[in-house]
Amino acid sequence: MARQRLNVLTLLLVVALVASSCGGTGLGATDTDAVAASGDDEPQVLGRPIDPDEVSIDLPSEGPYQGSFQTFCGYSHSLQDDPIVSPGVPGVSHLHDFFGNVGIDATSDYETALADDSTCAIKQDTASYWTPAVFLDGVPIVPTQSLAYYRVADGVALEDVVPFPADLMMVAGNQSSTEPQDPTHAGWSCGNSPNITAEPTECAGSSVRLRLVFPDCWNGEDLRSLDNSHVARSGSSGCPDTHPVVMPELEFSVMYPPFDPRAEMRLASGSALTAHGDFWNAWNQDRLANEVARCLRRNVYC
């Protein structure tokens, strides 16, 4: 019992420290590096430094990497709220389906979010993920569940990957698109299939999956922006100079029950071409750092 209470207190302390260091203008790149690299002071939090005498891991210098961690997150709730676009103003957005954190609405703040329950298999993933509701013949359909899959993009170095800064918000996909989007950023597939297309295809009765890959480079300054310009995507030579902080690459997928191919399908944001989704890093930051250190930076399939 004493141990449990001490743990909780310590956890709160860590959370408070992380939160306070990330408020206001945001967590700079230097700070982030320090958090990830502080091996001696907090080895358990971030994984041990790799000692070649004790571990047998050969780390590749370039991708594709197999390191990953992942969690299923059940559907939580739907609201016409958008904590990124319209913070503090409920009911003014198109209808969103929320996954992960069960308490998110337009008025949520980071501290309250950390205390909420989660629909994810990793209970300490209290982040929020949201996507536009899907309508069939005008009726919203309830997603089956979602999968948050965290990995490292091919072009970056493993040792450069640090956790998403606490309280970061970002978007994948373009909710105003009238043209097919790059399906490697926002697209649709049948179940697991790697055949990802800008619009859903006939899935022969199997589940339909919305697939979103979020940017993995951060400008080191801003936790959010209306035009998503605080984040960018890495390329074959890593992150751009304007966005030097390397983050995990998050692929977030939402599974829907099989569509009747005869039904008219649209998103709350418009046609299927407007596929997009949002991520708010309200993970237990300490736990997120643990998984980044032990799984991603070590190229371990967790």
Which residues of this protein are in contact with other proteins, per CB under 8 A? Answer: 3-4, 6-8, 10-11, 13-14, 41-45, 47-48, 53-57, 64, 66-72, 121-124, 147, 151, 189-196, 203-207, 255, 258, 284, 286-287, 290-291, 294-295, 298-302
Q: Decide whether 97 or 286 has the Cβ nearer to other proteins.
A: 286
Q: Are 199 and 177 in contact (CB under 8 A)?
A: no
| Residue type at 49 in one-letter notation | P
Q: Decide whether 155 or 258 has the Cβ nearer to other proteins.
A: 258
Least distance (Å) between residue 283 CB and other proteins: 10
Between CA 69 and CA 298 the distance in angstroms is 12
Residue 189 CA, distance from chain mean position: 19
Q: Decide whether 195 or 242 has the Cβ nearer to other proteins.
A: 195
Instruction: State both tokens at 81.
Output: 């709220």
Q: Decide whether 256 or 280 has the Cβ nearer to other proteins.
A: 256
For residue 213, report the phi and psi dihedrals to the nearest 5 degrees: -115, 120
Sign of CA dihedral 32, 4, 295, 114: negative
Q: Decide whether 47 or 238 has the Cβ nearer to other proteins.
A: 47
What's the farthest any 2 CA atoms get from each other in the chain? 62
Cis peptide before 165 (omega within 30 of 0): no
Least distance (Å) between residue 290 CB and other proteins: 5
Between CA 207 and CA 274 the distance in angstroms is 20
Least distance (Å) between residue 59 CB and other proteins: 10
Least distance (Å) between residue 217 CB and other proteins: 21
Least distance (Å) between residue 246 CB and other proteins: 20
